[in-house]
């Protein structure tokens, strides 16, 4: 770019110098226009190539939270059994450990940060925003006259059109692995069940068919699907199915489920069991064990469950006022508080 500028200056000086000496030096107008054109193009191209894309890189860990005080939100990373504040104006909603990609909200607008690219989500009120494992895709629902599933390729920043024959029930959709979605619905052949869709293979498959009833709850861990099936007789069963369609019955004691979490420490259920209250339960070998009784005496079901890097259970509860929350951990039969101040807390989804 500097070289072309010098050429123009030289031509200008030669022209002036020649005129002053009385010499006739002919310079083709076409030649000057050509140089000007090349210089303009170079300026444009160089301007584009040197445009810096500034994105905010953030490092989080399992168990990270968002703290809310008087409408102000702050992100906290969980390390060495304590929380440390992350300096950012964004509210982090979902974070992928492998890629560092994350979904955020800032001033009421949602977006995705992925390496050197920041993708705004133009739709004003996306429902059930989810980031895929590996951070290659994100999905959400548009709530128009019907719930429309939107899937976006993060790397190429474009929507992915899937060839699905299934009417999805509500927002019962999860990411099973880097390229595969799992969801509950009914297909065009009236099959009622759980389906997967592989984006790379562009293939939809029925992995679990229901003879009656419906799916009440659906989650994933590793490459397994945890779900609650409710029958027409109003019985509820917690089950697990893998990609090879192997089904394992976990318990029939389920009354209501708010969240399920599987870690190295076991399978935990937040909800209500038969002949019992709303609490946190551990299911092992078909046996159901209640973990939380009167400390804390309030468990916030809507906040869900989380865990630290070692698989220890985290949850949000209160001991006095419902609005005064703390983050608690359950380790080896003991419950302790991880936050000193009572406030409002939300878990960041960390994969």
Q: Which of residues 12 and 130 earns the better pLDDT score?
A: 130
Report the percent of the chain where pLDDT is more than 70: 85
Q: Mean of the pLDDT values across residues 44-52?
A: 41
Do 280 and 330 form a contact (C-beta atoms < 8 A)? Answer: yes
Do 104 and 119 form a contact (C-beta atoms < 8 A)? Answer: no
* pLDDT band at 36; cut points 50, 70, 90: very low
| pLDDT at residue 318, as a whole number | 96
Residue matched to tokens 């009833």 = 213
pTM: 0.83
Do 298 and 315 form a contact (C-beta atoms < 8 A)? Answer: no
Q: Is 9 exposed, middle or buried (0-12, 13-18, 19+ CB in 10 A)?
A: exposed
Over 80: is that where the pLDDT of 18 sits? Answer: no
Q: Mean of the pLDDT values across residues 62-74?
A: 96
Q: Which of residues 55 and 77 earns the better pLDDT score?
A: 77
| pLDDT at residue 139, as a whole number | 98
Q: For 304-338, what is each residue's pLDDT tens digit?
A: 999 999 999 999 999 988 889 999 999 999 999 99
Q: Please state whether the peptide bond connecting residue 296 to the residue before it is cis, i.e. omega within 30 degrees of 0.
A: yes
The alpha carbon dihedral of 252, 220, 141, 63 has a sign of: positive
Q: Mean of the pLDDT values across residues 109-129?
A: 93
Count of C-beta atoms within a 10 Å radius of residue 316: 24
Q: Mean of the pLDDT values across residues 109-117?
A: 91
Over 70: is that where the pLDDT of 46 sits? Answer: no
Q: Mean of the pLDDT values across residues 176-189?
A: 97
| pLDDT at residue 57, as a whole number | 87
Alpha-carbon gap, residue 195 to 320, rounded angstroms: 43
Q: Which of residues 124 and 185 earns the better pLDDT score?
A: 185
Q: For 232-288, what is each residue's pLDDT tens digit?
A: 999 999 999 999 999 999 999 999 999 999 999 999 999 999 999 999 999 998 899
Alpha-carbon gap, residue 115 to 104, rounded angstroms: 14
| pLDDT at residue 54, as a whole number | 65
| pLDDT at residue 116, as a whole number | 77
- Give me Rg for the CA atoms of the chain: 29
* pLDDT band at 49; cut points 50, 70, 90: very low
Do 317 and 298 form a contact (C-beta atoms < 8 A)? Answer: yes
Measure the CA dihedral 114/116/121/122, to 10°: -170
Taking Cα atoms as reference points, which of 304, 308, 340 lies closest to residue 324? Answer: 340
| pLDDT at residue 206, as a whole number | 98
| pLDDT at residue 323, as a whole number | 86
**End-to-end Cα, the chain, rounded Å:** 46
Q: Which of residues 73 and 37 earns the better pLDDT score?
A: 73
What's the whole-number average pLDDT of the chain? Answer: 87
Q: Distance between alpha carbon 226 and the CA centroid of its chain, in Å? A: 19
Taking the domains of the chain in order of start, what are their residue ranges? 2-48
Alpha-carbon gap, residue 280 to 282, rounded angstroms: 7
| pLDDT at residue 56, as a whole number | 84
């Amino acid at each position: 770019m500097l070289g072309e500028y010098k050429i123009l200056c030289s031509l200008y000086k030669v022209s002036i110098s020649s005129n002053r000496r009385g010499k006739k030096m002919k310079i083709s107008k076409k030649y000057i226009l050509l140089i000007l054109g090349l210089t303009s193009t170079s300026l444009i191209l160089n301007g584009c190539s040197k445009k810096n894309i500034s994105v905010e890189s953030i490092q989080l860990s399992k168990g990270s939270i968002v703290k809310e005080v008087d409408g102000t939100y702050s992100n906290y990373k969980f390390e060495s059994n304590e929380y440390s504040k992350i300096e950012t104006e964004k509210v982090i909603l979902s974070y992928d450990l492998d890629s560092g990609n994350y979904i955020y909200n800032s001033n009421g607008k949602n977006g995705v940060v992925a390496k050197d690219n920041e993708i705004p989500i133009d739709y004003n009120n996306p429902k059930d925003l989810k980031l895929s494992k590996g951070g290659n895709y994100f999905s959400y629902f548009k709530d128009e006259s019907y719930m429309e599933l939107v899937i976006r390729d993060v790397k190429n920043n474009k929507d992915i059109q899937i060839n699905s024959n299934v009417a999805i029930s509500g927002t019962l959709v999860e990411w099973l692995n880097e390229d595969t979605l799992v969801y509950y619905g009914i297909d065009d052949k009236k099959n009622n069940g759980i389906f997967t869709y592989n984006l790379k293979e562009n293939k939809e498959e029925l992995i679990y068919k229901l003879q009656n009833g419906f799916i009440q709850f659906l989650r994933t861990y590793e490459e397994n699907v945890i779900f609650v099936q409710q029958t027409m007789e109003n019985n509820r069963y917690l089950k697990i199915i893998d990609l090879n369609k192997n089904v394992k019955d976990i318990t029939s004691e389920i009354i209501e489920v708010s969240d399920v979490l599987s870690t190295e420490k076991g399978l935990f259920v937040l909800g209500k069991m038969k002949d019992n209250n709303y609490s946190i339960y551990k299911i092992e070998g078909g046996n159901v064990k209640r973990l939380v009784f009167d400390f804390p005496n309030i468990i916030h079901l809507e906040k869900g469950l989380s865990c630290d890097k070692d698989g220890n259970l985290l949850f949000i509860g209160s001991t006095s006022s419902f609005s005064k929350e703390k983050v608690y951990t359950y380790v080896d039969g003991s419950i302790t508080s991880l936050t000193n101040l009572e406030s409002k807390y939300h878990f960041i989804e960390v994969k």
